[in-house]
Structures are given as structure tokens and as C-alpha cells.
Amino acid sequence: MTEAEMLQQLPDRLLPWYRANRRELPWRGTREPYSIWISEIMLQQTRVEAVKGYYARFLEALPTVEALANCGDDRLRKLWEGLGYYSRVRNLKKAAQVIVSKYGGVFPREYADVLSLPGIGPYTAGAICSIAYDMPYPAVDGNVLRVLSRLLDDSSPIDLPENKKRYHDILKDCYPPCAGEFTQALMELGATVCGPNRKPDCQGCPCREMCLGFQRGTAETLPVKCPKRPRRTECLTVFLFSYDGKIAVQKRPEQGLLAGLWQFPNLPGTLELEGALRAASRWGLKPRGIYRQTERTHIFTHICWKMRGYYLEVSSPAEGFIWLTPEEIRRNAALPTAFRQFFEGIDHV
């Protein structure tokens, strides 16, 4: 039996299981492409539990494509604050502007048009077109790749682009008319029974009888991935300067890592207290006292930040910073998690 013939059995096995076992999630049940799009972009690299609150708040604040297209950048970053991978929200806005200018604010219905939008790749285009319009376009993400590699007992690396394309093409040919349900059933299997970083629950799996990985005892060794690029470590000294109940913040450059977000002043390298005080005076600040020193780590995809934070009370504010109360920072400034962790628990300074 060819791989394609094998996968033809998938809908009959998966759909009844999905209908009986699916988790209730806020974005399940909608056929509205805008909501599906927002949920799919948020769910990239982010856990379901973390996304639930963001999804509800985002749609309440920006219920339509037009609202998103017209939203100010600072407000948009604030709505995304803490979700990470901020290029996602920049692309959401760019795509919304294209939908407004090119399609009159109506989400496109053609796969090629959806795929051409900024920030939308084959996975997201497949998810939107299948779930919103029941079109036979697969959404092949890491979960689906893992399931397919186990079903087919395929030990070739799943993250090779040619393998993703091969799986996409085979899967496309076995789509049933209820394409949206099938897409979600595959995602659900890959997120639960055949989930990541744990032993697959083959006894509870509706595909056990067709699964070569299960039959041959290889499922737990799959999927195979290409070796990861080592993560580089960068050291940083972060300053929480406080004056008169306010804290100094700055906006990051509009390009590069964490573009356009807010940060506490910081310098490369790990400074001892003496060096930190010298740096403060170069900024024109006179520390009156240090009230805390702390170490924090933040991991990005390819970089690990090792940070030392100094909490310094200063005798007067200096130019070049914006001085905000903790409440103003919380309400208005999109502070990425890397810096927010220095700020947690601070109600007044």
C-alpha cells in the first residue's frame, strides 16, 4: 500500500473520534475567517492555555479586519504584550491593511489570495481555508508532521522543507468534504493522544490499527528532526532607575529584536556594582541607593539573554528616558517578557 493509499483511511478513523472527544476551545465552532486567522497566528509557538485570554481580549478590542487595520502600533503591541514573537502582530496589521485596500475589508476566499497575505504561510492559509470554507487545504504544522511521521513510520527529518511539502501533498488528496473538521481532528490528535514531548497514548488512539509506528514499535523514536543550531548567549545589565515614584523606560528601535517595544535602560555585558554606577553617571544620573540586585534569564529561539538587574534610586531624572509610574507602564507600555520579569511585583517605587 502506498503512503497516499494508507492515509485515505484517516478521515473515517479520525472524524468520529474527534466529534466525541474534541476539547472545547474558544475558537472552535467559529467559521469566521478573521477569528480563525487571529487564533491560528496566536497559537504559533504558544500554548493553548496562554492564548485563550489574549484571544478573547484581542477580538473584543479589535472585532473586525478594519479595526485591526486602523489600530495604532502602541495599542496593538500592548494587546500582544507577553505573547512574544512580535513580528506576528506586525504582520497581522499589514495583512489587515491589504484586506481592506485590496478586498474591501472582506477576507479573501481563494487559497492563493490568503497565502499571499503578509505573515500567512501554507499552514495558516490551509487552516483558514479548510476551517472557514471547507476547502481541501491541509494545515501541516509540527503536530501534524509528528502524527504523519509516526503513522507512516517515516524517519526522515520532518523539518526538511521537502518533507513538509510531501506530507502536504499526500494529505491534500485524502481530504473529505468536511475539510474544516478534518483539519481540526488532525490538529487535535497531534495535540493530545499523539502529543509532543511524551509517550504517545496509542491505546487510546483511533488510528492504532493503521499506524506503522505503533505496529513496528518505532512510534516513540519519531519524529526525527534536523540538529538544532546552538543558541548563543548574550549578557546584559538592566537598570531600573527610580525617581519620585517613576521608573525610566525607553522605546527599542523600530527594527530588530523586540522592535518598537519598551525596555528598561540596559547595556551589553554583566556589570559589577561599581561599573553599573559609572554607567548611571554617564547617563547623567546620580544614584542615591541600590535597593535590589537580581539575576534573570530569558530564552529566545536562537539567543539566551543572561541579565543582571540593578534597582537604583536616583536623585533627579535625566534626559533621554521616559519616566512612568508602574501603573502607567502596566497600562500603556508594551514591555516584553524579558524585561517584565524585573518589574513583576513592583507596585510603587
Closest to ligand SF4 by CB, 196 or 275: 196
Least separation, in Å, of the C-beta of 185 and ligand SF4?
A: 12
SS3 325: coil
Smaller CB separation from ligand SF4, 7 or 207: 207
Contacting residue, 205, 249, 261, 280, with ligand SF4 by CB under 6 A = 205
> Active site residue: 5, 40, 234, 274, which one?
40
Segment 96 to 155, residues that bind ligand SF4, using CB under 6 A? 147, 150-151
H/E element, 274: helix 273-282
Question: How far is residue 46 from each of residues 39, 189, 257, measured CA to CA in Å?
Answer: 11, 17, 18
Q: Are 298 and 258 in contact (CB under 8 A)?
A: no
User: To the nearest whole angstrom, how small is the minimum distance from the Cβ of residue 70 to ligand SF4?
Assistant: 45
Name, in order, each residue with C-beta under 8 angstroms of 176's C-beta and a sequence gap of 6 or more.
11, 15, 182
Q: Minimum distance between the CB of residue 47 and ligand SF4, rounded to whole angstroms?
A: 20
Only one of the segments 70-78, 153-161, 209-217, 326-334 lies at the binding site for ligand SF4 (rule: CB under 6 A); that segment is 209-217
Between CA 106 and CA 167 the distance in angstroms is 31
Interface size with ligand SF4, residues (CB under 6 A): 15
Residue 14 makes contact with ligand SF4 by CB under 6 A: no
Q: How far is the CB of 335 from ligand SF4 (least distance, A)?
A: 40
Nine-digit cell string for 39: 487564533
**Could you tell me the CA-to-CA distances from 307 to 145, 274, 281 in Å, in that order?**
36, 17, 20
- Give whichever of 217 and 227 is closer to ligand SF4, judged by the CB atom: 217
- Which of residues 199 and 348 has its CB atom nearest to ligand SF4 in the complex? 199
Grid cell in block for residue 349: 517605587
Rounded distance between C-alpha atoms, residue 224 and residue 150, angstroms: 10
- Pick the stretch among 4-12, 72-80, 123-131, 208-216 that binds ligand SF4 (CB under 6 A): 208-216
The SS3 assignment for 60 reads: helix
Q: Would you call 81 exposed, middle or buried from its count of C-beta atoms within 10 A (0-12, 13-18, 19+)?
A: buried
Site for ligand SF4 in 263-282 (CB under 6 A): none
Among this protein's residues, is 40 annotated catalytic?
A: yes
The total of other beta-carbon atoms located within 10 Å of residue 236's CB is 20
Cis peptide before 223 (omega within 30 of 0): yes
Tell me the window of 93-101, 110-118, 192-200, 280-288 that interacts with ligand SF4 (CB under 6 A). 192-200
CB–CB of 150/224 below 8 Å? no
- Kindly state whether residue 211 participates in binding ligand SF4, applying the rule CB under 6 A: yes
Residues 293, 298, 304, 309: what is their CA dihedral angle, to the nearest 10 degrees? -20
Residue choice 202, 267, 346, 349 for contact with ligand SF4 (CB under 6 A): 202
Least separation in angstroms between CB 154 and ligand SF4:
12
CB-based contact 199:28 (threshold 8 Å): no
Q: Does 308 bind ligand SF4 (CB under 6 A)?
A: no
The CA radius of gyration of the chain, in Å to the nearest whole number, is: 24
Binding of residue 214 to ligand SF4 (CB under 6 A): yes
Indicate whether 187 belongs to the interface with ligand SF4 (CB under 6 A). Answer: no
Considering the complex, state which of residue 51 and residue 207 has its C-beta at the smaller distance from ligand SF4. 207
200 binds ligand SF4 (CB under 6 A): yes
Stretch 216-245: interaction string toward ligand SF4, x if CB under 6 A: ---x--------------------------
Contact status, residue 89 vs residue 44, Cβ threshold 8 Å: no
Among candidate residues 1, 2, 57, the one with its CA nearest the CA of residue 26: 57
Does 95 sit near ligand SF4 (CB under 6 A)?
no
Chain positions contacting ligand SF4, by CB under 6 A: 147, 150-151, 193-194, 200-202, 205, 207-208, 211, 213-214, 219
Q: Which positions are catalytic?
A: 40
